[in-house]
Structures are given as C-alpha cells and as structure tokens.
Structure 1
C-alpha cells in the first residue's frame, strides 16, 4: 500500500509539472523575440551593438533586475545597457540596446558568442521568463598573422584600365566642325556679321540699310526703307522696276515667285506712297522683315 501511494504521489507531481510546463510555454508563445547584430567587421576594442526587440501582450512589465549587469563577461565586456518601451495597440514593444566591447587580442579570425539573456516579465502576480539566444559575431586579428616578404612589401599602384580615345576625339572633332559650320551658315543667312559690305547683293544691302535706321519710325525713315527695297529690285533687274515689269522678274528669277503675292502688294502700296504722296500702312519693322525674306531668297 505504501508503494502504491508513493507511485500515485509521483504521478500527480509529474502531471503537475507537465501542466505547469505547458502553461509556461503557452505564455512564452505570446512573446515575439528579435535579436539583431552586425556579425562581421570587428577588431580589438570595437563596440558591438546588439538590439533585442520583444513584443509582449499588454500589461506586462520588464523586470529590470533580469537585465544583464554591466561588467566583464566570458569574452566580451558589457559596457552599456539602454531600454525603450512603446505601445502598439494591444501589445507593448520593449527594445533593449546592449553595447559589448572586446579587449582580447587574437591571432586568427574567430567567432565569439555574446551573452544569452533570460528576461523576466511581470503582470499582476504572473511572472514569465523569456529566453534570448546568444548572438554570434566574428572578430579579425589586429595585425596580419603571417608577416612574410609578401606582406611587408607595398603593392604596386593599380593602373587604370586602358581606354581608346581615338573614336571619342574623332566624334568630338566632327561635332565641333558641324557646330562651327552651322554657326557660320546662320550668321551668313541672317547677315549677323555684315561681311563684304561693298560687294553685297542688292537685297542684303537693302536689309543692312533698313537695319541702320534702328528705331526711327518717322516718315523719313519709312521713305528710306521703301527706297532701299525698290533700289534693290532695280539693281537685280538692272533697270527701273515698276508693277508692270514684275512678270519679267519672276521669269528671270523664279525663286522670287515664292513671295509673288507680297511683292505685288509692296509695289502697289509704295507706288501710291511715292508718287501720290499717300500714307503707307507698313512700318519700318515690317519692311525690314520683308527685306530679310527677299535676302534669303536672293541667297538661294
């Protein structure tokens, strides 16, 4: 009987422990743990920042006594611990910043484990322990472990990759020549530079004479502009031109036919202006533009 009683007690204890373990695991499952650490690139005395983020159900408070204490550890010294708490809806996020520092020199690349954590969270009378696995980092030696001639002798400077510039130079030269030719053509087309003033073609000379009038819009300037264009027609045909003789102009110089309508209007309006002393409803600016069109046709 005594043996059976002891077996029953042992069975009840085992069931109780199993139930308690299941309850703890169920509570721990409500906690989400993330640990973040840069694993590579450390040397002697470098600081390693480990960021531990734990999301807990609302109401749980971190027990500060469960945080690791600052001081010497197995391989690393814990030099600083910071905590931050923030609420997100029904959950609370705890962020723990752990600053680890290594003062141990090694002669080879070695992997080290930082300290594991067992954080305690309390709610009312309930206490739950949440484990955090130890993070792992890789530490490099302070100096090369093999100091042979290859390590002591400085390496030669790296040469830049060879590049053929011939095609680029040719392309730039062609582009520059095309641009210069275009500028020269535009300057000649629009008479920007006024070269060869003594031997200029008739309408080019008329365009320059009207341009010399500048902003003068009086009757004298208007008369001078009309005479400049009429003289250019006379010089082109080498005879005194009238409205009746325009057909001869278009037969001898067909390219002026593009402005046949405008030329007829100009002669009709200026005949009245010159010979009947009637006002002219054309400005000096418009006459200059007309002379420019004739100049460009004159150039072909």
Structure 2
C-alpha cells in the first residue's frame, strides 16, 4: 500500500529526452526537442492540449508537433525554427509549453536555451598592404586660369558698361537740365555783384528754360509752355519790366540784386518740383 501511495502521489513526470544542443545554431536552423512524459496507470495525454504550430516570438516559430503514446509513456517531439539574425553570439530562451492529461492535471514540457551565432564572416584586421597607392599627380599652373578670369571679368564689365550707356543708366544718364537752379546757386555766391551782372545770369537761365531768348512780351507764351511757373508770373513780369527800363532807358532803377537772388531761389524750387 505504501508503494501504491507513493506512485499515485508522484503523478506524471516530464523528462527531457533530447533537448537540442546548446551551441552552434544559425539563422533559419530547425531545433528538434524530444520530451518523454511518464504517465500514471489509466491516464493519457489530451491531444487537444498539445501546442499548435505558430509563431511563438518574432524570432522563433513552432513548426511541427508530434505525439506518440505507448503504455504509460507519451513521447512528444517539437520542431522549432530560429529566425534571430544575430550580430554577435546571443543566448536565446525557448519557453516551456503546458499540456493537459486526461485526469485534468497540467504538466510543462521543459523549455531550453541555445546560442545562435552571426552568419557574417569574421572581419579580418586592416593592414597598410590593403590600401591602394596614391595616384600620380602634377602641379597645375594657375596662370592661364587667372588670366582667363581677368579677361572674363573685363569682358563682363565692358558689356555692362555698354548696356548702361545704351539704356541711359548710371553713370551715363543725363540729369535733367536745371538752369534756374544753377543760376540760384551762382547768385548766392555773387554777394557783391552789380545788378546788371546778376540780371544777366537770371536772364540766361530763363532763356535756357524757355528754349530761346525770353523777353517780357513773350512771358505769357512762356507761362503756357511752362505752367508750373504761373504762381510767380507777376514777379517775372516785374523783373522783366525793371530790366527793360534799365537797359532801354525808360527810367527806373532796375531790379535789385537781392530781389533777383530771392526770385531765382523761388524759381529753382519750382524747377525742382518743390513748390
């Protein structure tokens, strides 16, 4: 009775029959694990509890499962496939798989570990002999290139200058003629000049503005041609009347230098569009 009690208390026992070797596995290798399960009398293996072929992990697949039962023994074979791409030798753990017996008890098919190795070749150390010799070289004279650069730059400047001249761009553009402005500046420097000399400067500026000799009788035509001077038409008429009286002996003192200087300054502002 004691022996029978000990046998019943022991139950089914799983003993690894043939685990795969621990080293020397590569990417894509199949590992065959065989487990022999000792069964008590009257107890069998539940086939539905056997692990199904599947992907157990991203690097491990259970490819095939086979089970064979004899009197008191179940022999289970599991075929695993390694998909771990190792960069260096790496130890991987295959988990245990539970199975169920007909009496409702659970048993584990033991897991195991193996080392997978990289499939790349061993890298040989580099040596100076593996390097190709330096190619022959020759010194390059930069003189022709510099001369070409200078000639190209000169040609570019010539083309740019010709284009600026043709289009009337700076520095070839002509500034608008401003005879009245020049006269105002000249009169501002003629502090001690005689009235006749000052009047001559202002007359020449008005002639240049009109395009021909301007006399008092054509003042209205000048205003029609240059209407911007209409606000000072009366002052121009006074200037021409005083100038005619002085030059043609009609009496009068003639225009004063200070008054002509002020008139020239006003005319200059109109000419430059400031009034």
Greater helix fraction, Structure 1 or Structure 2: 1
TM over 0.5: same fold?
no
Structure index of larger Rg: 2
TM-score by length of 2: 0.40
